[in-house]
C-alpha cells in the first residue's frame, strides 16, 4: 500500500516537471514546468501559427546567479534567478526563418514574463524542420494544446478527461495531475488538521484560485521551518499547492495567497505557494 502511494507520488512529480521560481527570492512562489509549458505552447500557436513548437525546457540561465529563497522551497524546485527557455520548432517558408524565429521568441518571452511571472532573460531557439504546409490549428482539449506527450520532458497542460478528474473533490488525479479540492472537499483532505482546513478555506476565497491541488495528495502542509541561526526559535512554515484560473497572472495570485495565509494564522508563518496547474 505504501509502495503504491510512493509510486503515484513519483509519477505525479515526474508529470509536473521541475518547479520554476515565480518572481524573485522574496515572492516565495513556484510553478510546475508542465503548467508553464502549456501556456507557452498556446501563445506560440496563437501568435505564430506557421510554427510547430517541439521540445520546450526552462531552467536557470546562470546557476551562479541564483538566490536563496526567503522561504523553504518545495522539493526539486529551482532557486530564484534569471531563467533561460530553450525550444525546438518546425516552420513553413511563409516567412523568412530569422523573422519567424524573432516573432516566436517575442511571443514566448512576453507570455513567460507578463502572463505567467517568470524571470525569463534568455530564449534559445533551434529550427528542426521545414514544413510544406502550415500546422493545423489544434482544437481545445487535444494533446497539442492541453497536454499529451511532450518530448521535452516538461509536459503540457493536462488532457481534458484528466482535468475533469482532477477537479473532483478529493480526486487523486492521473499521472502528472495534482488532483483537485474545491470548497466542498476540503474537510479532512488537507494537511495540518483544523488549522490546515482554515488555511484551505481562506485560500479558496482568494481571487484567481480555481482549486487546491496537492503534490502527494496534500494541498496544505504545516510544519516548522529550521531557524537561520542557533539562537533563533523555529518558525512555522506553510505550503499551499493550487491551480490558478484562466485570466489571472499566477505570480499575483501566489502573492495574494501568501498574504492571506499569513493573516489567517496567529503566528504568521512563512508561506510558500506552488502553482501546479493553470485552468
Amino acid 218: pLDDT:
85
Give the model's pLDDT for residue 150: 37
DSSP 120-147: EEEEEEEEEEEESSPPPPPPTTSHHHH-
Those residues whose C-beta lies under 8 Å from the C-beta of residue 164, and which sit 6 or more positions away, are none
Cα gap 193→166, rounded to integer Å? 23
- Nearest CA-CA partner of 209 in 278, 261, 113, 263: 278
- Neighbouring residues of 231: CB distance < 8 A, sequence distance ≥ 6: none
pLDDT at 253 (0 to 100): 98
Residue 73: DSSP 8-state: P
> From the CB of residue 76, how many other CB atoms can be counted at a distance below 10 Å?
12
Domains of the chain (ranges; CATH) run 31-146 (3.30.70.1350), 159-278 (3.30.70.1350)
Q: By three-state DSSP, how is residue 29 classified?
A: strand
- The span from the CA of 98 to the CA of 120, in Å, is 21
Query: Under a CB-based contact definition with an 8 Å cutoff, are residues 232 and 183 in contact?
Result: no
Tens of each residue's pLDDT in the chain, 279 residues: 444 443 444 444 545 689 999 999 999 999 999 999 999 999 999 999 999 999 899 999 999 989 999 999 998 899 999 999 999 999 998 889 999 999 999 999 999 999 999 999 999 999 999 988 777 665 443 333 333 333 333 333 333 333 333 333 333 343 344 456 565 555 455 656 889 899 999 999 999 999 999 876 689 999 876 555 444 456 789 999 999 999 999 999 999 999 999 999 998 999 999 999 998
Cβ pair 271, 262 in contact under 8 A: yes
Question: Three-class SS of residue 204?
Answer: helix
pLDDT of residue 3: 46
Amino acid at each position: 500500500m505504501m509502495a503504491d502511494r510512493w509510486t503515484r507520488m513519483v509519477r505525479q512529480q515526474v508529470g509536473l516537471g521541475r518547479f520554476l521560481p515565480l518572481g524573485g527570492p522574496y515572492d516565495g512562489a513556484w510553478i510546475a514546468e508542465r503548467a508553464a509549458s502549456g501556456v507557452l505552447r498556446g501563445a506560440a500557436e496563437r501568435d505564430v501559427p506557421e510554427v510547430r513548437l517541439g521540445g520546450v525546457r526552462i531552467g536557470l540561465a546562470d546557476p551562479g546567479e541564483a538566490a536563496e529563497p526567503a522561504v523553504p522551497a518545495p522539493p526539486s524546485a529551482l532557486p530564484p534567478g534569471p531563467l533561460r527557455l530553450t525550444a525546438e520548432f518546425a516552420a513553413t517558408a511563409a516567412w523568412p526563418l530569422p523573422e519567424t524565429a524573432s516573432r516566436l521568441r517575442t511571443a514566448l518571452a512576453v507570455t513567460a514574463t507578463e502572463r505567467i511571472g517568470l524571470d525569463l532573460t534568455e530564449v534559445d531557439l533551434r529550427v528542426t524542420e521545414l514544413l510544406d504546409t502550415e500546422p493545423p490549428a489544434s482544437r481545445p482539449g487535444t494533446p497539442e494544446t492541453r497536454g499529451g506527450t511532450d518530448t521535452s520532458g516538461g509536459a503540457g497542460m493536462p488532457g481534458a478527461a484528466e482535468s475533469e478528474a482532477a477537479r473532483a473533490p478529493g480526486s487523486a488525479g492521473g499521472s502528472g495531475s495534482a488532483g483537485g479540492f474545491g470548497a466542498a472537499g476540503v474537510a479532512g483532505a488537507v494537511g495540518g488538521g483544523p488549522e490546515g482546513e482554515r488555511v484551505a478555506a481562506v485560500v479558496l476565497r482568494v481571487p484567481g484560485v480555481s482549486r487546491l491541488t496537492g503534490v502527494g495528495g496534500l494541498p496544505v502542509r504545516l510544519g516548522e521551518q529550521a531557524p537561520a541561526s542557533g539562537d533563533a526559535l523555529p518558525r512555522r512554515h506553510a505550503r499551499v499547492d493550487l491551480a490558478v484560473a484562466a485570466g489571472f497572472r499566477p505570480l499575483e495570485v501566489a502573492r495574494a495567497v501568501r498574504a492571506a495565509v499569513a493573516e489567517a494564522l496567529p503566528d504568521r508563518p512563512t508561506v510558500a505557494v506552488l502553482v501546479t496547474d493553470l485552468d
